[in-house]
Amino acid sequence: MQISSLRRLLDTPPAPYAPSGPAGSAARRTALRARVERLARVEPAHREVRVTASTVTVRDGLRREDLTLASPARGAFRAVLLSPENSSSETSTEGEPTPLPGVLVLGGKNARLDHLTGATPPDHPDRDIAARLARAGFTTLALDHGIGGGLDPDRLAGRDEGALLAHAFALTGHSLLGALTGDALGALEVLRAHPLADAGRTGLFGHSLGAAVALHTALLTDRPLPLCAAAHLGSYPALYGRLLTGFEGAALPGVLEHADLPDLYAALAPAPLQLQYGTRDPYLETADARAAAESVRRAYEEAGAPEPDVLELPMGHGTHPVHAAEFFARELAGAPAHPAPVPAQRVRFTVAERRTVLERVDGALASGVLTQGPLVARFEELTRDWTGTPGTAVASGSAALEIALRTIGVAGRTVLVPVNTFFATAAAAVRAGGRARFVDVELDGLGMDPDALRTALERWPDTAAVVPVHIGGILSPALDGVLAACAEHGIPVLEDAAHAFGSTLGERPAGSLGRFGAFSFFPTKVALSGEGGLLTSAAPGDLEDVRRWRDHGKSAQGSTLHDRPGGNWRLSELHAALGTVDLERFARTLSARRSLAAHYDTLLKDVPSLRPHPVPPEAGSNYYKYLAHLDGPVDRDTLKSRLRERHGVRLAGEVYDHLLCDHPYFRDATGPGELFPRGRWFARHHIALPLYPSLTHEEQIRVVSALRCELS
């Protein structure tokens, strides 16, 4: 009997879903949320819900707004927004309606919208929860799940419509719960945007199936939201194995490989949580629900979060509306909740992109080719669209620099680098056997100063290579002067383009102006592969040398003979799997970064003591960093601390806060009288604002408002 196989699977505990640590640890909560997002497969189109029709009526003290919502994923569906009648007449000092705390209401599988909202007498005494919450002083938005009445009853032949839908979704690799969660996420944004709802004070209510939808919606939101979940508690093995009461659409396929239902609630910490369950509920088992609630309590305690409100009530498969209203009144009282922090950096892949990465990794694992295979070749091919020059993939940007300098042959000679750059630029010269010496920068394009370079070339006549750096993604127009000076002396140029993938100078892409161009695909860069680098060159012989250096100096591919002291500088297929997916979306990435930078330009025009760094018109920056200069007696460290602690805004890292000559390792590499005034001024006075493709305009406004507050 297959029931034996099912019981064995249900009795297998969930696999660890995160790094070791207590169940309430932030790392475990974050990891579980990511797995839920992947299993739910809620794509951006699900969240793009808009109002297409609206009809307002007033009845029995409630303002009712019948809405037709539409999303690219689902099409049209119904919703009803309720608020106290007098909320539309009460106005603020600006003459606008006073917004109330908002609650998204998600009913059970058999709930009908008119029952939830009180338009028709409820079929169960507590079904009209949306109306009850509205009478208690909230603006509520209730959704029609769309899993009843959509199929021909004759064709259904008595079968459950929701179960059929759940099975049909499963055939496509999706889930009914994921689709419902997508609707709820989009509707939540509709509620937040409504003038009668306070966007900063919103909560989620769900009953039965609706509680499962509300739970997963809360797991996928960008900020902690109060959640009241009724009649949805226990363990998946009990609900789906022993009791056989679990509905197919109330759980994600494969979720039990990672976590049980109590783990999902625990992952909400520190969000306020109320769990209601009835001792007479025929769909639950009291002992199982009680054990699940205790597990959630322990996880919240380990997370240092306020204890969840767990209510074991003498009721059936229902809701206690009074307790729900009291919970939301308590948790949504007072000033709007502080929005989620604005991080300095945020790497984000959509669910579809993550699945593509996983499929490519799986393909590599199935083939057994884990390094220097077809994915690496594809990665190299995709980069050429942005470098205009053939490239060879290597393990890191640092490896790319060192290989180029070894190919040039700098051992025992001087390598000139800007005094303002990352440690790896100069360290690569040392590892290649050379001596790093420093050149001051110019402040327009933040590149190597051509006049300072000419002075350095006279001082260091044994110079073997010059390494200009494209700081912050800007190709400085002064680079032409650097190239000319090097050409006069017959010195090869290695572009450190770690910041500049996709940047240009006129029509010339970064990495195409010198003999070599070295790129980094570290996670903080504009294009990423986790760990990885690229070395470009127009000379086929140079690229062949790079391929030999990166593979332990083998004299030919597949050979067991070595003709140089190469290293393990290969890029793995697993990193290339990530890198190819990121490169395939890079046009959108670059467009988003440039659009966000233009928005900052507008927002920052009247901020005191702050000047955005003007990008030279010839330079097509990728805006790896959005740079600005602090004027006057502004202490940068104090400003960053206040932005973080008072406003939840973290600035990005500087480029750079210490000159190379100030690092202990390079203290002896600076000659007498070398002060580097321009590099030192820039290092002390600039800041970098958060900028990444998933940054929203709302977050940009918060960043600039925080700066204006602290600098005024």
Summarize the confidence of residues 666-683 as an average pLDDT. Answer: 88
Q: Do residues 368 and 354 make contact, with C-beta atoms less than 8 angstroms apart?
A: no
CB 229 within 8 A of CB 218: no
CATH 3.30.360.10 fits 2-331, yes or no: no
Helices (DSSP H) in 530-627: which residue ranges? 540-550, 573-584, 586-603
Question: What is the distance between the alpha carbons of residues 366 and 33, in angstroms, rounded to a whole number?
Answer: 28
Q: What is the pLDDT of residue 20?
A: 47
**Cα–Cα dist 621/598, whole Å:** 12
pLDDT confidence bin for 89, thresholds 50/70/90? very low
Q: What is the pLDDT of residue 159?
A: 84
- In the Cβ-directed half-sphere of 465, how many Cα atoms lie within 13 Å? 34
Is residue 334 classed exposed, middle or buried when 0-12, 13-18 and 19+ CB atoms within 10 A define those classes?
Answer: exposed
* Per-residue exposure over 632-646, b if at least 16 CB sit within 10 Å of its own CB, e if not: eebeeeebbebbbee
CA dihedral sign, ordered 377, 381, 383, 389: positive
pLDDT of the residue at 15: 64
Question: How far apart are the C-alpha atoms of 652 and 650, rounded to whole Å?
Answer: 7
Residue 530, number of CB atoms within 10 A of its CB: 18
Instruction: For residue 352, give both structure tokens.
Output: 């579809």
pLDDT at 597: 98
Distance CA 335, CA 563 (A): 70
Q: What is the mean pLDDT of residues 381-385?
A: 98
The predicted pLDDT at position 336 comes to 64
Strands in 504-505's sheet, in edge-to-edge order, are 508-509, 504-505, 619-620
> Among 99-103, 166-170, 192-196, 308-312, where is mean pLDDT lowest?
166-170
Give the contacts of 322 (CB within 8 A, at least 6 positions apart).
Answer: none
Q: Alpha-carbon distance 554 to 550, whole Å? A: 9
Residues in Cβ contact with 614 at an 8 Å cutoff, skipping those fewer than 6 apart = none
Compute the C-alpha angle 407/408/411, nearest 5°: 95
pTM equals 0.86
Q: pLDDT of 22-34, one tens digit each?
A: 555 888 888 999 9
* Mean of pLDDT values over 325-331: 96
CB 24 within 8 A of CB 303: yes
Residue 99 Cα to chain centre, angstroms: 30
Fold of 587-711: Aspartate Aminotransferase, domain 1 (3.90.1150)
Q: Is residue 115 within a helix (H) or strand (E), and if so which, with residue range?
A: helix 113-116
Domain with CATH 3.90.1150.10 in the chain: 587-711
Of 497 and 45, the structure prediction assigns the larger pLDDT to 497
Q: Would you state the pLDDT for residue 17?
A: 47
CATH of domain 351-585: 3.40.640.10
Question: How big is the chain, counted in residues?
Answer: 712
Quick check: 427 pLDDT over 90? yes
- Per-residue confidence (pLDDT) for residue 155, from 0 to 100: 80
Give, to the nearest 10 degrees, the angle between helix 573-584 and helix 351-367: 150
- State the pLDDT confidence band at 19, using cuts at 50, 70 and 90: very low
pLDDT of 44 reads 74
The whole-number average pLDDT for the span 130-143 is: 96
Position 335 confidence tier, pLDDT thresholds 50, 70, 90: low
Mean pLDDT of 301-310: 95
**Residue-wise pLDDT tens digits, 437-492:** 999 999 999 999 999 999 999 999 999 999 999 999 999 999 999 999 999 999 99
Q: Where in the chain is the domain with CATH 3.40.640.10?
A: 351-585
Tell me the H-state helices in 648-686: 677-685
Phi-psi region of 659 (alpha: psi -120 to 50; beta: other; left: phi over 0): beta
Torsion of CA 226, 232, 235, 237, to 10 degrees: -140
